[in-house]
Amino acid sequence: MEITAAVVKEKWSNFELTKVVLDQPKSDEVLVKIVATGICHTDMVARDFIMGAPNFPVILGHEGAGIIESVGADVHHLNVGDHVVLTYGYCGECEICRSGNPAYCHDFFQRNFSGARVDGSHSHHYHDAKAIHDNFFSQSSFATYAVAHKNNVIRVPKDAPLEILGPLGCGIQTGAGAIINSLRVKVGSSVLITGTGAVGLSALMAAKASSATTIIAVDINDERLEFSKELGATHTINSLREDVSQRIREILPNGVQYGVDTTGRNEVINNILSSLAPVGELVCIGVARKPLELETNIFLTKGYKIKFINQGDSVPQEFIPKLIHMYQGGQFPFNKLIKKYAFQDINQAIEDSEKGRTIKSVLLIGNYNN
């Protein structure tokens, strides 16, 4: 079938809306008419070759939400007409997946970043039959339709606003999962979050929903820091103007219990560690551009736990519906992060995201008729 997809033809280039051919789903796949897709920093990471190895041209997009149009013969838990969110790909069969850790699947890279299915095939082609690299997060949802694997298609309630649900498939579940799944933040505890983008603010909202009583947000953007107060931050620190470690010790003389880093920066991670209470825990989410260097001698007697996490340690079939339930109950207002854009304005939406003008851009693809 002919669809419209946003194609990246070379590193660092813009996305071009292009008519391409999409094959019908295989027996273990699902065809989804995309209603909306979130824009995530990981899309830019792949576009710029910082992480992943898709060749060009490539179709990215990995926070899709839509309605199922057809299912393969081996798909029995999903039906035509289901409202769904698309999340990351995983095999579901290796010992890691079977242990309840699909975000660390042995095939994770191949199913999410290789630019093709596991068998090397592609579902997208130009009209001359030339293949286009795809299968990004097993979906490539910067398009009017997407083919996704049955494992990463999550049925959601039809009374939930489908046009804003896509970011639950990656960025928002990553931040919220850091608090709820990875750290399991306790009632009355203290949390430090560095970086107030979509992931950091999702962690912040989850910390509030988990009844943490001290929630500290750190960033260099005063507007974001002010907004973080609206979402539940009890304290904010601008790291350009204040000594982060000193300020945290003023707030919590014995240190903070939990830390979440979304920046991937050496100095920021070391600031968090120097601010943790004994046996404190830190999760690192941000994509780093340099190797991490730690002041290990200072931390030897502290009993700290540092964990690098992916996708919020989530089992998406369980966690995405949980986040929707929290949203519908008023506990997790992630809609406040979102700004909607027309599909044809994808490059503006990406620019706004990269420059910090928008926290979470969402493309309304279902309204695109060209």
**Which domain, by its residues, includes 40?**
2-169+333-367
Q: Are residues 17 and 131 in the same domain?
A: yes
CB 167 within 8 A of CB 63: yes
Task: Give the closest residue to 286 by CA, choosing from 186, 208, 178, 369.
Answer: 178
- CATH code at position 295: 3.40.50.720
**Distance (Å, whole) CA 197 – CA 117:** 31
Consecutive H or E run containing 68: strand 64-71
Tell whether 349 and 266 lie within a shared domain: no
Q: Verify that 228 and 289 share a domain, yes or no.
A: yes
pTM of the complete model: 0.96
Residue 86 and residue 234 share a domain: no
Tens-of-pLDDT digits for all 370 residues of the chain? 999 999 999 988 999 999 999 999 999 999 999 999 999 999 998 998 776 656 899 999 999 999 999 999 999 999 999 999 999 999 999 999 999 999 999 999 999 999 999 999 999 999 999 999 999 999 999 999 999 999 999 999 999 999 999 999 999 999 999 999 999 999 999 999 999 999 999 999 999 999 999 999 999 999 999 999 999 999 999 999 999 999 999 999 999 999 999 999 999 999 999 999 999 999 999 888 788 888 788 788 999 999 999 999 999 999 999 999 999 999 999 999 999 999 999 999 999 999 999 999 999 999 887 7
Provide the residue count of the chain.
370
DSSP per residue, 167-236: GGGTHHHHHHHIIIIII-PPTT-EEEEE--SHHHHHHHHHHHHTT-SEEEEEES-HHHHHHHHHHT-SEE
Among 264, 293, 309, residue at a domain's last position: 309
What is each CA distance from 14 to 7, 60, 167, 243, 276, in whole angstroms? 8, 12, 21, 38, 42
Q: Does a structural domain hold residue 204?
A: yes
| Partner residues linked to 194 by β-bridges | 218, 261
Looking at the domain assignment, is residue 45 inside a domain? yes
Provide the domain count of the chain.
2
Nearest to 258 by CA among 342, 178, 317: 178
Same domain, 34 and 102: yes
CA 370/CA 135 separation, integer angstroms: 23
